[in-house]
Amino acid sequence: MGEFRYRLEKKTPRTGNGGVTRGASVKEFPASVGVAGVSMRLAPGAMRELHWHANAAEWAYVVSGACRTTIVHPDGSAYVDTFNAGDVWYFPRGYGHSIQGIGPGECHFILIFDNGDFSEDHTFSVTDFLARMPAEAVAQNLGLSAAEVATLPKKEVYFAQGPVPDDASNISASRAHPELVAKHRYPLMAQEPRRVPGGGTQRIVTVDDFPISKTMAGSVIELEVGAMRELHWHPNADEWQYFLEGSAEVGVFLAEGKAVIDQYEAGDIGYAPMGSGHYIRNTGKGVCRVLLGFNNGHYQAIDMSEWIAGTPRDVLKTNLGLTGETVEKLPKGTVFLAKGK
C-alpha cells in the first residue's frame, strides 16, 4: 500500500445473497480522513436492503449495469429511480434508501461517502432495527400479529436476493431520455464534456446542476495516452479517486519538502487531501479514465498554468530565477490537461 493509494478491488470482499462489496474507510486507508468509498456489485434481483447512514451522505457512480433505488425524505416524500452506466446518485445523510440490481447482468457501482470515518457501525439496516426492538412494539407499529412478527429476519439481512422487478414496479426502467436529470439522479456521462485536444475530457457534476447534492461533487476525466491532469489543488475539498480504466502516475505534494509519487492501476483508489498539490498522468498504452469524488458540493480548483498565466512575468523571473527568454515559454492560459510528448 502506498500512503495515498489503496488497492480496493484486490481487497477480500464481503459477500452475501447476490451481492459483493469492498469498502475502504480510514481503517483500511488511513490517508482518506475526509472521504470513504465502496465498490459494490449486485446480481439481477439482488438488493442492498433498506438502510440509512448516520454520519455520511452517499454519492454514487454506476460503472456498469442497471439498478433501481428507493429513498424516503424527512417530509415523507419518497422516490424510486432507475440508474444506468454513467449515472450518478446522491442520498443526503440519514435518508433511508435501498438499491437493487435490475439486470440484465451484474450492476457495479462506486459509493463515495463524505466522511472517512464512515463504516458499517454507522449504517442502520431495517432488519437489524426491527429485530432489536421488542416484538410487541414492532407488532403495534406495523399492525401485525405476534406470529407474523416472529417471521421477520432475526438479524441484519444486508443483501437480499429477490426477483428482477417487473415493469409495473420498475417505474422509470425505460427512460425515453437518458439525459434526464431527476431529484436523485444526474446522468454524468450523458453530459457534453469539456475537451482539450490531445489531452482528454472532463465531465463534472456539482450542486449547481444537481441541487440535492449539497455536500459532494464528482467528475470523470479521461486522459489520452501520455496526457496529464496538470499540477493543481482544491481549496475547498478532499479528492477521492477511483481508477476505472488504464494506468496512471499520481503525485501528491504535502508542503515542507514532502511529496508522494505512486503508480495506479484500474481498481485502485487514491486520495489527495484538501489543499494538497497533485497531478494525474496517464502512463498506460490506452485511455486512462478516473472517477473523482469531492466532499464539497461546489467544485474549486487552482491549476498551475492559471497561476503562472495570471502572474506578471517579472515576478516569475525573480521567483523562479529564469531568463526573460525562458519565462516567455511558460503557459499564457489554462492548460488543464497537458498533452503527452
Q: What residues are annotated to the active site?
A: 48, 51, 53, 58, 97, 120
Asked whether the beta carbons of 87 and 132 are under 8 A apart, the reply is no
Distance CA 259, CA 228 (A): 18
Q: Does 156 bind Mn ion (CB under 5 A)?
A: no
Q: How many residues bind Mn ion (CB under 5 A)?
A: 2
Compute the least distance from the CB of residue 111 to Mn ion, in Å. 7
Residue 10 has phi, psi (to 5 degrees) of -95, -5
Starting at the earlier edge strand, list the strands of the sheet with 19-24: 14-15, 19-24, 36-42, 107-113, 58-64, 87-91, 185-187
Based on CB atoms, which residue is closest to Mn ion, 149 or 223?
A: 223
- What residues from 39 to 58 belong to the interface with Mn ion (CB under 5 A)? 58
Burial class of 102 by CB neighbour count within 10 A (0 to 12, 13 to 18, 19+): buried
Compute the least distance from the CB of residue 231 to Mn ion, in Å. 10
Compute the least distance from the CB of residue 171 to Mn ion, in Å. 20
4 by DSSP, 3-state: which? Answer: coil
- What residues from 56 to 95 belong to the interface with Mn ion (CB under 5 A)? 58
Asked whether the beta carbons of 95 and 51 are under 8 A apart, the reply is no
Whose CA is closest to 57, among 331, 250, 321, 297? Answer: 297
How is residue 122 written as a grid cell?
454507522
Compute the least distance from the CB of residue 80 to Mn ion, in Å. 16
State the residue for C-alpha cell 440535492: 212
Based on CB atoms, which residue is closest to Mn ion, 149 or 280?
A: 280
Based on CB atoms, which residue is closest to Mn ion, 226 or 277?
A: 277
Question: Please, what is the Cα angle at 269 between 266 and 275, to 5 degrees?
Answer: 130
Compute the least distance from the CB of residue 325 to Mn ion, in Å. 32
Based on CB atoms, which residue is closest to Mn ion, 58 or 224?
A: 58
Based on CB atoms, which residue is closest to Mn ion, 87 or 239?
A: 239
Asked whether the beta carbons of 96 and 71 are under 8 A apart, the reply is yes
- What residues from 232 to 291 belong to the interface with Mn ion (CB under 5 A)? 239
Q: Which helix (H) or strand (E) holds 325?
A: helix 324-327
DSSP-derived secondary structure letter, 190? G
What residues make contact with Mn ion under the rule CB under 5 A? 58, 239
